[in-house]
Structure 1
């Protein structure tokens, strides 16, 4: 699979104008995908600092860009009814002319749940809820008028080997993980096993990983593990894109 470079543009500690300008700069620099995240409060720095909501932002990003794919890394399944989320995704898919990736996970940030009145449940129950939501999302896409512009790619984030990776084998086109090359390689092997169990070609699933170091330090190991989408994270207020540009230059040098 072709090498692609993503940016997770974290919607924290910055005014929206600054976030929008960084989004456009990333697209101009050659990023393939720009993600935000689905939280209600910052995950680093001042815990009550500036922060913006995920999906309303994605609608604006769809109008503010013309080439990059966009999505959440990742949407929290707990925060929206699956049918509503499917409709939201279909709408952003149309606004963006077919550039949305539906990133989704089971949720983990307890402050979001407590402050906004969601039931945190247990990790196991949150994962069960995700497993129940995924077929509902796909079913709703078949009923919407107009239908999505394409088979919207589902990205599942997380490393749980019994449930998360099994759901990925069943429903997703992209898996996103965290960790070093050895960890990613192990998770990919587990995912391949789930694909074998259900009779799916594991090559249909793109492997994605977060990167926080230079390509010279991380790229080859992750490539050997099967990763083809490499995503740099950046937060406000500075939005330093130097590392992103290094990964883009590395991608371009691969031919």
Structure 2
């Protein structure tokens, strides 16, 4: 099975730009990673949708997700650009659909539009968003996914839900990729998220590289697909791995292989310190990616 690979750019969220003082130079360091990926065998580059750093909020750079996505779309020419994943609570879903459609055009159809329910309570409250418990966030997420999909596929969609409503919005252009921008849903919730993947999504992201968890979550997804009549094989099954630059590439390749054996067909890497040193990313591209082509 052929496996595709993506890589996160250093956006600041994981304190991965703190050694660069000037914000312009920080942005250029992020862009340089995207351009290096664009020149190589990578399928995609990725960003997070967060406002504050982890593991705790600090007064340091975190570049905004959709601004980054749109600029990287113009700074690259080949790779897809995605979010892992956009936070539903930060944008009304019809606006999200409009933004994504615009960026899909700006990138000439290279957008991987990611969406999830959100979880980072501190930044919700700090930015003035109402923090809601899991049942409400998941209820909103369920409605949002349907709205986004309908905004991309219907001329004047109408939807009246418990949390959101739309009344015939015109969303033109809808994007470049057909039949609509590539829709990636993040999270492994078995009753809501994975069912939504089977209903609406082009891709999922599960398991955080853990083979047992990947296998289990994809089994749940397959069951949802069977019940809904969706072809399981048409869905991209991605997982994320953090690369240890000090580890032998053979060890990293083994981790990828175990994830693939569990059912993943797409691997997205986070590479610490890639803002300062591209060598581990380039070495992975040369030594590991060809093994799974």
**Greater mean deviation of Cα atoms: 9-18 or 101-110:** 9-18
- The corresponding residue for 1:162 is 191
Is 2:6 aligned against 1:6? Answer: yes
Superposed, which structure 2 residues align to 1:32-43 within 5 Å?
32-43=43-54
Structure 1 residue 246: Cα displacement: 4.3
Aligned residue among 220, 234, 246 for 1:204:
234
Structure 1 residue 147: Cα displacement: 2.7
- The corresponding residue for 1:181 is 211
- In structure 2, the residue corresponding to 1:155 is in which secondary structure? strand
- Distance change >3 Å, CA 73–CA 10, structure 1 → 2: farther
- Distance change >3 Å, CA 244–CA 236, structure 1 → 2: closer
Superposed, which structure 2 residues align to 1:14-25 within 5 Å?
14=17, 15-25=26-36
Is 2:97 aligned against 1:89? Answer: no
**Greater mean deviation of Cα atoms: 98-107 or 120-129:** 120-129
TM-score (ref. length: structure 2):
0.82
- The corresponding residue for 1:190 is 220
- The corresponding residue for 2:22 is none
- The corresponding residue for 2:289 is 251
**Greater mean deviation of Cα atoms: 114-123 or 6-15:** 6-15
Structure 1 residue 197: Cα displacement: 1.2
**Greater mean deviation of Cα atoms: 161-170 or 244-253:** 244-253
1:4-24 per-residue CA deviation (whole Å, 9 max, x = no partner) reads: 110122410432111111111
Structure 1: how far apart are the matches of 2:131 and 2:57?
A: 23
**Greater mean deviation of Cα atoms: 69-78 or 144-153:** 144-153
- Distance change >3 Å, CA 180–CA 91, structure 1 → 2: same
Stretches of structure 2 that go unaligned for 5 or more consecutive residues are 18-25, 156-170, 244-250
| Pairs aligned (count) | 255
- Distance change >3 Å, CA 239–CA 190, structure 1 → 2: farther
Higher relative contact order (CA closer than 8 Å, sequence separation 6+): 1
- The corresponding residue for 1:130 is 141
- The corresponding residue for 1:145 is 172
TM-score (ref. length: structure 1):
0.93
1:31-61 per-residue CA deviation (whole Å, 9 max, x = no partner) reads: 1110101000112477221111110111111
Structure 1: how far apart are the matches of 2:196 and 2:272?
A: 30
- Distance change >3 Å, CA 112–CA 45, structure 1 → 2: closer
1:141-191 per-residue CA deviation (whole Å, 9 max, x = no partner) reads: 233222311221111111111111111111111110124111101100011
> Looking at CA atoms only, which structure, 1 or 2, has the larger radius of gyration?
2
Structure 1: how far apart are the matches of 2:205 and 2:94?
A: 23
Structure 1 residue 64: Cα displacement: 0.3
Structure 1: how far apart are the matches of 2:44 and 2:262?
A: 21
